[in-house]
């Protein structure tokens, strides 16, 4: 059962091949047997999952089942989940049990889906490797010496190892797409505002966006149908009709215009990675698409701009965790100042502390104009680059990351090198665009991801292109050894 896609599992449930309880028990057993080597879960909700599965079977027996009723999935531990430990991968929230459901969680519950538990992640979503988690790093199922990517590394590893058919992730600068690429699965970052952020613990409020991670584009389309929509509780949620994202999956690609940014294929990209991506692009040409070179001239400014804007927003968002209102509290403080200092010093890890300090500095008097305001101007230039490009082409393609998954520990002492792993993904968040990563090959038995970008609210076009590519190739069907 674990090698079936969500679409196949849904059909199996509808045909009575197995029950939701049987399906859920199967995945819970796999988690119990295998996850000790991957560390992809922080919390596994055995009793709750089986109760939800039983309820789903009763709904199906009554003839009221929806498309996804009874399908199990996992959730990144950044989404508040009523009655379940919600840690954000941090000691700061290691004792926090959420008293309500995030809108995304609520939407999936309404759809009748079953929650297997909460997945591991970089602390407060700050990282590109899942190595900043208070609960230890997740490991890549393709190679246990490699990182699964971050910050949604636990979700990606769980799906790749077939411990869950799908998982939620969040993407602030590539945190769905990059781990999807490293673990050989499909990951979609929707347009900013397409999916509610309410109940999703904030890192950088103008950049964070939740999205689905699964085996195929078809599965991501099914999941996005439930995730997307206006939420009056979220001031950044956009009131825009939600289409059926599965409706145009089989639409031919004849006449599709694909742009390849010259900035994505220059210095920093290995010849082998470039050849792998170009081989994937040629598949689109076989499907009827045309390809042309384009330019995104401000691409390399995305990293410095992002690492001013995101830490500045993090500095503000994380100020609430002070040992008084929220989060870890130190023992026996001598005064209020000591309480603040030690609670935050003990509760936050090094990378989170680093970004808070950078953000506080950028927002401080005398530096706001020099750094933060200038970064926002660069953000606008980057957005304009994309708008200009989409006047010429329908989709933009390139590598999701400059390399396949790197080794655990190889970049932990060099934050700048770690930040460079997001060079092809950061600009997409700064511009608020949708993007998807799909499996496109292997280098030294480590997966390679092809990134596809579209204009605002063009998720259906992204999913159509990705689905047609997956109908013509088999990279998405490959599984690491334990997933067989």
Name the active-site residue from 76, 118, 139, 189: 76
Q: Is 151 a residue of the active site? A: yes
Sign of CA dihedral 247, 253, 257, 258: positive
CA–CA separation, 302 and 418 (whole Å): 15
Q: What share of the chain is helix, strand, coil (3-state, %, to 5)?
A: 45, 15, 45
Q: Is 341 a residue of the active site? A: no
Name the active-site residue from 115, 151, 155, 196: 151
Q: Is 90 a residue of the active site? A: no
Name the active-site residue from 19, 20, 152, 175: 175
Q: Catalytic residue positions?
A: 76, 151, 175
């Amino acid at each position: 059962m674990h090698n079936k896609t969500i679409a196949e599992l849904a059909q199996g449930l509808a045909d009575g091949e197995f029950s939701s309880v049987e399906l859920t028990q199967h995945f819970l057993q796999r988690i119990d047997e295998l996850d000790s080597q991957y560390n992809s879960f922080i919390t596994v909700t055995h009793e709750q999952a089986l109760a939800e599965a039983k309820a789903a079977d009763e709904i199906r027996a009554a003839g009221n089942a929806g498309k996804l009723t009874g399908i199990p999935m996992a959730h990144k531990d950044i989404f508040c989940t009523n009655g379940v430990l919600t840690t954000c991968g941090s000691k700061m929230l290691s004792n926090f049990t959420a008293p309500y459901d995030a809108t995304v969680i609520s939407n999936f519950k309404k759809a009748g889906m079953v929650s297997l538990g909460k997945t591991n992640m970089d602390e407060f979503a700050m990282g590109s490797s899942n190595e900043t988690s208070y609960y230890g790093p997740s490991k890549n199922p393709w190679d246990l010496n490699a990182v699964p990517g971050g910050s949604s590394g636990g979700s990606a590893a769980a799906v790749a190892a077939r411990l869950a058919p799908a998982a939620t992730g969040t993407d602030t600068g590539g945190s769905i797409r990059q781990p999807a690429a490293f673990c050989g699965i499909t990951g979609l970052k929707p347009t900013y505002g397409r999916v509610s952020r309410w109940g999703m613990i904030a890192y950088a409020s103008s950049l964070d966006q939740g999205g689905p991670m699964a085996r195929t584009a078809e599965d991501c389309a099914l999941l996005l149908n439930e995730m997307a929509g206006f939420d009056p509780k979220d001031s950044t949620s956009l009131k825009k009709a939600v289409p059926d994202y599965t409706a145009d999956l089989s639409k031919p690609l004849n006449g599709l215009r694909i742009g390849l940014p010259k900035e994505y294929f220059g210095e920093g990209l290995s010849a082998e990675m470039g050849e792998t991506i170009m081989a994937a692009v040629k598949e689109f040409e076989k499907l009827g698409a045309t390809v042309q070179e384009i330019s995104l001239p401000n691409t390399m400014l995305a990293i410095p701009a992002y690492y001013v804007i995101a830490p500045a927003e993090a500095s503000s968002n994380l100020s609430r965790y002070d040992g008084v209102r929220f989060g870890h509290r130190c023992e026996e403080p001598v005064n209020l100042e000591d309480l603040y200092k030690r609670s935050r010093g003990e509760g936050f890890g090094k990378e989170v502390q680093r970004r808070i300090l950078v953000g506080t500095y950028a927002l401080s008097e005398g530096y706001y104009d020099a750094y933060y305001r200038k970064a926002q101007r660069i953000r606008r230039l980057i957005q304009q680059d994309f708008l200009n490009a989409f006047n010429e082409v329908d989709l933009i393609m390139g590598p999701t990351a400059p390399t396949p998954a790197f080794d655990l520990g190889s970049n932990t002492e060099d934050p700048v090198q770690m930040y460079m792993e997001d060079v092809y993904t950061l600009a997409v968040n700064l511009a608020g665009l949708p993007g998807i990563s799909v499996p496109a090959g292997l280098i030294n038995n480590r997966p390679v991801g092809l990134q596809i970008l579209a204009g605002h609210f063009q998720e259906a076009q992204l999913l159509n292109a990705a689905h047609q590519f997956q109908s013509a190739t088999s990279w998405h069907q490959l599984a690491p050894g334990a997933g067989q």
